[in-house]
Amino acid sequence: MAGRAPSPRRSTRPRAGARFAVVAARFNEAITKRLLDGALRAFAASGVAESAVDVQWVPGAFELPQAAAYLARTRRYAGVVCVGCVIRGQTPHFDFVAGQAAAGIQRVGLDTGVPTTFGVITALTEAQAWERAGGDVGNRGTEAADAALEMARFVETVGRRARPTANRRGGSTAGSLPDRRGRGALRSGPGGK
């Protein structure tokens, strides 16, 4: 059963000057516009100025990952939100488009380190899509923007902890990360002791 995404656990106000991008698919545009409106409302509610959110339109959900990758690689954005709508038809086209859009959007975040979120409705019917674009089931655009805000805060917080600092011997602890047990012990980057 579908439901609403969990509410953010704490304040998702981004750092001062943070910019965000929203990439919106024109296919099923009436529905996607509702997702975009939800994303923009979520940013505004978190104190992100309208001028700090860039909106880019692409033909469909299949093109979302390419546009998101381009935007993320500019390093101008604290997060990229992808919104679109894919409705199952009578052919397997839905499976290819929805699956590749999801995998591609995930890949952008993994490859660039820039939070890139999935606000793409994948519905069996148009009625289901409308329910997820501001109806009884919520607004996937709002949820994707909230996730981008929360993940941008996560990246900023973890990045701040990992910045180089001088150790007692005068050297740098660049790349040191808290140990996996959470006890505050430091270990060097990947493969370190």
Q: Please say whether the beta carbons of 152 and 173 come within 8 A.
A: no
Of 76, 93, 161, 163, the catalytic one is 93
Contact 187, 176 (CB under 8 A): yes
Is the distance from CB of 162 to CB of 28 less than 8 angstroms?
A: no
- Sequence length of the chain is 193
Q: How many CB atoms lie within 10 A of CB 156?
A: 14
Strand partners, 119: 83
Q: What is the per-residue burial (b if ≥16 Cβ within 10 Å, else e) of 10-28?
A: eebebeeebbbbbbbbebb
- Annotated active-site residue 86? The verdict is no
Q: What distance in Å separates the CA atoms of residue 65 and residue 107, rounded to the nearest whole number? A: 8
Residue 164 and residue 167: Cα distance in Å, rounded? 9
Query: In angstroms, what CA-CA distances link 87 with 10, 12, 28, 127?
Result: 33, 31, 9, 10
The residues annotated as belonging to the active site are 93
